[in-house]
Structure 1
C-alpha cells in the first residue's frame, strides 16, 4: 500500500503554494513539493525549498489537474505540460503514484497535449507498463544524467539514471524517451570519458538533449557552504554553457542525433515540429537532422500583427509595442509566463527587448563566449 504524503505546511512559500507555473517547456504542474536527492545545483534553491527533504502534497491529484486545465494559459491539445519538474522527482517511491494518477486523469480527459516528465531516479518495468497504457497524451520521459562523481555536488549515482534509461529502452512502445544530458559543467564532467559514455547512453533513447548549468547567486552560495569552489567566475540569469564545451560535445557526437533544446528533442522523438518555434532562430538548427528541420520549416509561419496582439491581450500585455520579423516576436515589459503562452500558441519565438537573445548563443548566458 502506498504511503500517504503529508500535507504541505501552511507556511509553504506562495511560489510553491501556487501549483501551476509557466516555464519554457510548458505549463508546469507541481502539487508535490520536497525532495531527498540533494543535487546541489537544483532549482529548488530559487524557491527557498531546498531544505524540505520529505515530499509533501499541496493538493490532491484531481484538484491539481483541474487547476491546470482551468489556468488562463491552458489550451487543450496545444499547451505543452510538465509534471513535477520544479520541487521533487516524479519517480520517487512516495511520489510516483501521484505522477501516474495525474497522467491518467489528463489521459482520461482525452487531451493530446505534449507531456514532459523529467527524472533521475529509478524506473522499473512495472512503471513502464502503466505509462504505456496512456492512450491520448503524448508522453516523453526525460532521463537526467550528468556523470558527476563529486558527491558534494551530486550525491546520486548516475548509474541509477543509466539503469532507468535501459529499462525504458527495452520496454517502451508508445512512450518517448530523451537522454537528458545535464548539467554539463566545464572542467567537471566534460572529459573525453564523459563524452564517450554520453554518446553510448544516447543510443538508448529516441533523442539526446544537452544543456548547461543554472548558476544563480542562491546556487553559488550553497556550493560555497559545502566547500565547492565557484564553478564559474560569474553568475548568470541564463544557463551557462561555454563555447569550447559545446564544440567538444558536437565533435564527440558527430554522426549521432543531438539537440540543443528540450522541445527540439521532444519534437523529433514524436515526429512533429518543435513546439517552441526555434526554427526562426536558424543557427540553433544547424545540428538537427534534415528530416526534423523540414518538419519545423513546414510549421514555421510568421504570424499576423492582429493574431499576436490578440494573444498579448489575453496574456496581459496590451499597450506594449510588438514587432514581428522572420526570426521572432519582440515585446516589452513582459514576464516569462506571458511570453511562453504566446510562443506556444503560435509555435513562434517570443523575446523581450530587455533580454535579447544574441546570435549563436542559443539563448544561453554570455559566460564562456567570446
Structure 2
C-alpha cells in the first residue's frame, strides 16, 4: 500500500477566486441534513470521491472559503435550518475533517454551534487519523448530539483507495477507548462486489464493529465521472453500468447480514445514528418497513412509537415554503408522495416531519432499500 503524504503545515489557504460556484456555495441540503463545507480540497485521492462530480479532485490542499464563525452564522440563518431538529454534516463533501489544519476548523465550528446550546444531530465523517487529543475536544461539547462516522473499506488496491484502512481502524480504536458522550459508527463503505466483500473482509469488519456503537454499510456511488477516472488509472469497470443510486448487489448484502448476525448493523446512515443515540430515525425510515427488518427490536420500538402521519395542511405549508407544488400531494400511513421535487425539497420536509417523502417520478422499489437496480433481480 502506497503511503499518503500529508503536509504537516496546519495552515489552510484562502479559496481561489475562480473556485466553481458549486463549491463556493458551501451549504447544501442532503439526505443526512444540511451540509456545511466551507473548506474544500483533499490530498487523500480516494478514487470514488464525489469531488469528481464538482471538478475539484485536483485540489489537493485544503482551502478556506469563509471563516468558521461566518459559516456557522450562515448555517443557523439558512432558510432550512431548524434549531434542535435539522441534522448537520460538517466537511463531508470536499475534504476530510481530521486532516492537519482542517481539524482545528472542525473544532471551532462544533464549539460555535455548541455555544448556541443547539442539540441538533451532527455528523462528522472521516477516514483519517483521530487522536486522543482530538477526542478530548469532541467530548468537551455539551449540547450537540455528535456522531463520528469512521469510514473503513479494507480495499487494498491503491488505485481505488490509496489510504490504508489501518488508519481508520486505529481511529476507531482510539474512539472506543476515549469517547463516551460522542457516538462512533463503523461506516463500512464503499462495499464493491468482488473487491472487498471476501470472507476476510467480512471478518475484519465484524471485529471492528465491536468497537463501535453501530455499523452502517453501503455500496459504491458510481457515476460517469468516477468510472472515467478509474479507467484513466487502469482500473477495470467495477460494474457494467453507472447508476444514480449507490450500487450494492443483493447477494453481497445477503452475505453481510448473515455474517453480522447478533451485531447492530444498519442499511441507512440515519438509522445507525438513531440507534447509537437511542432516538428515532430523523429520516423516518419506519415508513419503508422492509429497511427496518434488520434493526434491533429496541430501535424498532422507538421508531414505531414516534411514527406519526402528518396532517395534509402541515405538509402543504412545508411544500409552499420550499416552492413545491401542493397539487396531488398524497399521504399514506407510510410516506408522502409529491410531484416535481428536488432532493433538497424532499429532505427538508422529511427531516422536519420525521416522515418519508417520495417523488412519484423516482419510486422506491420494494426491498431495494433505495439502491441501484444493478445486482438485483
Task: Give me the TM-score of the superposition, normalised by structure 2.
Answer: 0.97
Deviations 1:115-174 (A, max 9, x none): 000000000000001100000000000000000000000000000000000000000110
Aligned to 1:183: 190
Work out which of the residue numbers 129, 137, 146 in structure 2 matches 1:139.
146
CA shift at 1:257, angstroms?
1.0
Aligned to 1:337: 344
Aligned to 1:293: 300
1:255 aligns with 2:255: no
CA contact (8 A) 1:320 1:333 kept: no
CA contact (8 A) 2:248 2:374 kept: yes
Aligned to 2:322: 315
Aligned to 2:3: none
CA shift at 1:319, angstroms?
3.8
Aligned to 2:116: 109
Aligned to 1:55: 62
Q: Which runs of 5+ in 1 are unaligned?
A: none
Work out which of the residue numbers 196, 202, 205 in structure 1 matches 2:212.
205
User: Would you identify which runs of 4 or more consecutive aligned residues in structure 1 move more than 3 Å?
Assistant: none
CA shift at 1:2, angstroms?
7.3
Aligned to 2:276: 269
CA contact (8 A) 1:116 1:139 kept: yes
Give the match's secondary structure for 1:143.
Answer: strand
CA shift at 1:261, angstroms?
0.3
1: distance between equivalents of 2:180 and 2:116?
22
Aligned to 1:326: 333
2: distance between equivalents of 1:2 and 1:302?
52
- Give the length in aligned residue pairs: 370
Give the match's secondary structure for 1:27.
Answer: strand
CA contact (8 A) 2:319 2:326 kept: no
2: distance between equivalents of 1:83 and 1:205?
20
1: distance between equivalents of 2:128 and 2:250?
30
Deviations 1:215-246 (A, max 9, x none): 00010010000000100001000000100000
CA contact (8 A) 2:316 2:326 kept: no
1: distance between equivalents of 2:279 and 2:374?
33
Aligned to 1:354: 361
Aligned to 1:16: 23
2: distance between equivalents of 1:320 and 1:219?
37
2: distance between equivalents of 1:222 and 1:142?
26
2: distance between equivalents of 1:34 and 1:281?
36
| Equivalent runs, 1:15-34 vs 2, <5 Å | 15-34=22-41
Aligned to 2:288: 281
Give the match's secondary structure for 1:45.
Answer: helix
CA shift at 1:279, angstroms?
0.3
Work out which of the residue numbers 90, 93, 99 in structure 2 matches 1:86.
93
1:245 aligns with 2:252: yes
Give the match's secondary structure for 2:151.
Answer: strand
1:97 aligns with 2:98: no
1:127 aligns with 2:134: yes
Give the match's secondary structure for 1:357.
Answer: coil
Deviations 1:30-60 (A, max 9, x none): 0000000000000111111111001000000
CA shift at 1:313, angstroms?
0.7
Deviations 1:179-237 (A, max 9, x none): 00000000000000000110000000000000000000010010000000100001000
Deviations 1:48-80 (A, max 9, x none): 111100100000000000111111100000000
RMSD: 0.9
Deviations 1:322-367 (A, max 9, x none): 1111221111111111000000000001111111110000000001
